[in-house]
Amino acid sequence: MATQRMKEALNDEPSSNEKKALKKASVRKEYEALKPEFNLLQEMLKARNDAGLSQADVAARMGTKPPAITRLESSLTSGRHSPSIATLKKYAEAVGCHLEIKFVH
C-alpha cells in the first residue's frame, strides 16, 4: 500500500479525481498554496526510491525511528508542519543527496 502511494506521489500527472477536483476554484487555490510542499515531497520520495531505501532504512541512517520518517513525509501534504532545514539536510544525506535551497524569480 505504501508503495502504491509512493508511486502516486512520484507521478507528475494528476489523477482523474484530482483533475475533477482542481476544476473548483477553492480546491485549486489550496492546491497552489501547497504546491511547494508537494514538490518537496515528490523530490524526497524520488530520492529515497532512487536510493532503494525504505522509510526504516532512512530512519536508521538519520538515527531516528521509522514513524518519524512517516510523519516527516506525510507532514508535507498536510501543510500543518514544516520540517526544519536541519531535518531536511539529514534526510538528504541519508538518501545520498545534498540539500540545495534557492530563490527563483
What the chain holds in terms of domains, given with CATH numbers, is 2-94 (1.10.260)
pTM above 0.85, yes or no: no
Of residues 11 and 26, the one with the higher pLDDT is 26
Neighbour-count burial of 76, counting CB atoms closer than 10 A to its CB (0-12 exposed, 13-18 middle, 19+ buried) = buried
Which pLDDT band holds residue 25 (cuts at 50, 70, 90)?
confident
Of residues 56 and 104, the one with the higher pLDDT is 56
Q: Contact at 8 Å (CB) between 92 and 103?
A: no
Query: According to the model, what pLDDT value does residue 61 have?
Result: 98
Which pLDDT band holds residue 95 (cuts at 50, 70, 90)?
very high
Q: Phi-psi region for residue 96, left (φ > 0), alpha (ψ -120 to 50) or beta?
A: left
pLDDT tens track for 5-24: 555 555 566 788 878 878 88
Q: Phi-psi region for residue 26, left (φ > 0), alpha (ψ -120 to 50) or beta?
A: alpha
The residue with cell 515528490 is 42
